[in-house]
A and B are shown apart, each in its own frame.
Chain A
């Protein structure tokens, strides 16, 4: 059974760089997209970005200028860096495994994507 274990610094000062890592245990690293998602206190989920095993990335445009997601396939790990943090970046950060494809039925074509395995979350607080 695939498990994601994540870790990183939980308390940062404004302007510092957030750094989190997620390790994949018990399953293949290739063939999936590996995502970071965050949730500010009392608010909804926000997708940050994703990477695949070959290093291809997609980022949320609202965070793109500050985000870097990287992968270390030798360790089955992927990492998130978010620079110049402010109090608005205070949130629980989750890593997750994503899968997707195309479903065709007759003339109808639909794409699908889902995140089926999640880490437990890391609380990151930005405070001076």
Chain B
């Protein structure tokens, strides 16, 4: 079982703001990285570090962290943002671990 906990599913109305969260004790000292995965495709890094976006990732994606919770926020969600989202960090033994994933539906 993952030591990073994510809500299995979240929905958002087109154009609205949605927050996807990831909880785990390691997040008190590790920033999570966030990955977007669409069906049949490899994951894509969308947020890393405190709040950094790789080149090509829209600025509607942002990240934040507080205590044991990391958050990925999409401000003004678009239809193309519908995907699975995974956080990644380390567990208590130092092993890299992914959260269970959150399926985002854009209504």
How big is chain B's contact interface, by range?
20 to 34
* A109 adjacent to B29 (CB under 8 Å): yes
Q: Which residues of A contact B96 (CB under 8 A)?
A: 35, 47, 50, 58, 60, 113
**Chain B 57-90, CB within 8 Å of chain A: the 1/0 string?**
0000000010000000000000000001010111
* A94 adjacent to B29 (CB under 8 Å): no
* B48 adjacent to A116 (CB under 8 Å): yes
* B95 adjacent to A58 (CB under 8 Å): yes
* B95 adjacent to A113 (CB under 8 Å): no
The segment out of A12-20, A67-75, A117-125 that lies at the interface is A117-125
Q: Which residues of B contact A94 (CB under 8 A)?
A: 42-43
Number of interface residues of A (CB under 8 A): 25
* B48 adjacent to A44 (CB under 8 Å): no
Q: Which residues of A contact B94 (CB under 8 A)?
A: 58
* B93 adjacent to A61 (CB under 8 Å): yes
Per the bound structure, the CA–CA distance linking A77 and B44 in Å amounts to 21
| CB of B33 closer than 8 Å to a CB of A | yes
Taking Cβ atoms with an 8 Å cutoff, the residues of B that contact A are 2, 29-31, 33, 35, 37, 42-45, 48-50, 54, 65, 84, 86, 88-90, 93-101
A-B contact pairs, 20 of them (CB 8 A): A44-B2, A44-B98, A45-B37, A45-B88, A45-B101, A46-B98, A58-B94, A58-B96, A60-B96, A110-B31, A110-B50, A111-B90, A112-B31, A112-B48, A114-B45, A114-B48, A114-B49, A115-B43, A118-B44, A120-B42
Beyond A46-B98, A114-B49, A115-B45, 5 additional contacts (C-beta under 8 Å) are A44-B100, A105-B50, A112-B31, A112-B49, A113-B88
